[in-house]
Amino acid sequence: MTRTADAIMDAAERRIRVGGYGGFSFREVAADIGVKSASVHYHFPTKDDLAAAVARRYTDRFTQAVANKIAAGTKVDVAWRDVFRRSLAEDGRMCLCGILGASAHGLSEQVAAEVRRFFRSGLEGLEAGGLGKEEALRFLAMLEGSMLVASVLGDQALFDAASAPAAAAAA
Amino acid sequence: MTRTADAIMDAAERRIRVGGYGGFSFREVAADIGVKSASVHYHFPTKDDLAAAVARRYTDRFTQAVANKIAAGTKVDVAWRDVFRRSLAEDGRMCLCGILGASAHGLSEQVAAEVRRFFRSGLEGLEAGGLGKEEALRFLAMLEGSMLVASVLGDQALFDAASAPAAAAAA
DNA sequence: GTCTATAATTTGATAGAC
DNA sequence: GTCTATCAAATTATAGAC
């Protein structure tokens, strides 16, 4: 069954969003969902396997959420901002791949590749939505930076203020 | 003497910029500069003490570098961008407080306070230089996000592209 | 698929000699 | 101020019973 594997990824994602890659352990994740660490190793042999799986699922989930909004008629840049905004509102923490990416140079290639995938697919999606290459780059950077500042200073309104005007200016 | 303490902070700063707070240990830092971990504990009793000291020194050093540029006639936003840019060019890694701030929720209050200090003093400095409150916020977010994207994708030119137009638009 | 048990290593931190 | 030695705990990971 994938139910346990999903629960493991849920717990790991929560922990990574608090303390980064170095901020979670197999025992903590196992305890979070009421199993033993050996069971976590059964589903994800190594820590890198788990972190990479979490990052991959995050990217897919994020991409899908954005696609749904676009299908409903939302403009691509507004869709991206909305999805980030809702995630930030839920727990006050920033993008999972932004957190992992901040210490990208200390990650294994396996995990770093998944983080790069998130950023690359983000840029591709924004360009496919009509933004210019540099415009997409600036927009994604602005969103990540806005989440970072809002997360550090603990004020979600800062994300709104930092990202709202740029969103209006784009496209 | 503060010579050893400085060397310890240098090594710790390098390590944190690679792997974040969870990515360095007393033994590694000690080995980097050729002493034993007990000596590191002599200068910085706990890991939080060391990380907080590194973040504090980083903020002071950064503020000074910006102030020097402004005194030489550079506009405040250009000065900030230049200092970040040079730091990124040196080793391809982003702002120390941006890295720590990404997992701010997992830091001790002691370290988190120093990270907040960097961002707050940044906003204050940009406002003192003539930027509006929201303008300063957007500019700082844009710089941090640009460094993040450039660092993750391993291409410094992305920082230039992402931050250049906004710098021209500001002030 | 989950468990107990454990190996092997690393971690933050301290005591005390020099 | 730096060292040796050490502690207690946590870490990733594996072997094997159920």
A59 belongs to a structural domain: yes
- The residue lying closest to nucleotide C3, measuring its CA against C1', is A36
Report yes or no: B170 and A170 within 8 Å, Cβ to Cβ. Answer: no
Confidence of residue B164 (pLDDT cuts 50, 70, 90): confident
**Shortest Cα–Cα distance, A154 to chain B (Å):** 9
Its domain, for residue B98, covers 51-169
- pLDDT over 90 at A2, yes or no: no
- pLDDT over 90 at B54, yes or no: yes
Report yes or no: B57 and B64 within 8 Å, Cβ to Cβ. Answer: no
B167 reaches A (C-beta below 8 A): no
**Entry pTM:** 0.96
Report yes or no: A89 and A7 within 8 Å, Cβ to Cβ. Answer: no
**Shortest Cα–Cα distance, B92 to chain A (Å):** 9
Segment A85-127, tens digit of pLDDT: 999 999 999 999 999 999 999 999 999 999 999 999 999 999 9
Report yes or no: B7 and A94 within 8 Å, Cβ to Cβ. Answer: no
Report yes or no: B25 and B31 within 8 Å, Cβ to Cβ. Answer: no
Mean per-residue pLDDT, A35-47: 98
Measured CA to CA in angstroms, residue A74 lies from A137, A171, B56, B75 at distances of 20, 12, 43, 38
Q: The dihedral of CA B148, A99, A48, A52: what is its sign? A: negative
- pLDDT over 70 at B170, yes or no: no
Q: What is chain A's mean pLDDT, rounded?
A: 95
Residue A32 phi/psi, 5° resolution?
Answer: -60, -35
Confidence of residue A164 (pLDDT cuts 50, 70, 90): confident
Instruction: Count CB atoms within 10 A of the CB of residue B140.
Output: 25
Report the candidate in A113, A143, A132, A146 with the shortest Cα–Cα distance to residue B152.
A113
Mean per-residue pLDDT, B98-122: 98
A19 belongs to a structural domain: no
Mean per-residue pLDDT, A69-93: 96
Half-sphere exposure of A37 (CA within 13 A, CB side): 7
Confidence of residue A171 (pLDDT cuts 50, 70, 90): very low
Nucleotide nearest to A40 (CA to C1'): C2
A13 belongs to a structural domain: no
B24 belongs to a structural domain: no
B136 belongs to a structural domain: yes
- C-alpha A60/C-alpha A66 separation (Å) is 10
For residues B131, B97, A151 and A94, what is the CA-based torsion angle, rounded to 10 degrees?
120
- C-alpha A120/C-alpha B98 separation (Å) is 21
A2 belongs to a structural domain: no
- pLDDT over 60 at B166, yes or no: no
CB contact under 8 A, B102 and A92: no
Mean per-residue pLDDT, B77-94: 96
Instruction: Count CB atoms within 10 A of the CB of residue A68.
Output: 12
Instruction: Count CB atoms within 10 A of the CB of residue A168.
Output: 10
- pLDDT over 90 at A73, yes or no: yes
CA A82 to mean position of chain CA atoms: 13
- pLDDT over 70 at A162, yes or no: yes
Six token digits for residue A120: 């690359």
A156 belongs to a structural domain: yes
Domain count, chain B: 1
Segment A118-139, tens digit of pLDDT: 999 999 999 999 999 999 999 9
CB contact under 8 A, A98 and B143: no
Helices (H), B34-108: 37-43, 47-71, 76-91, 96-102
B78 belongs to a structural domain: yes
Report yes or no: B46 and B87 within 8 Å, Cβ to Cβ. Answer: no
B132 reaches A (C-beta below 8 A): no
* Nucleic strand C near CB of residue A39 (< 7 Å): yes
CATH number at residue A82: 1.10.357.10
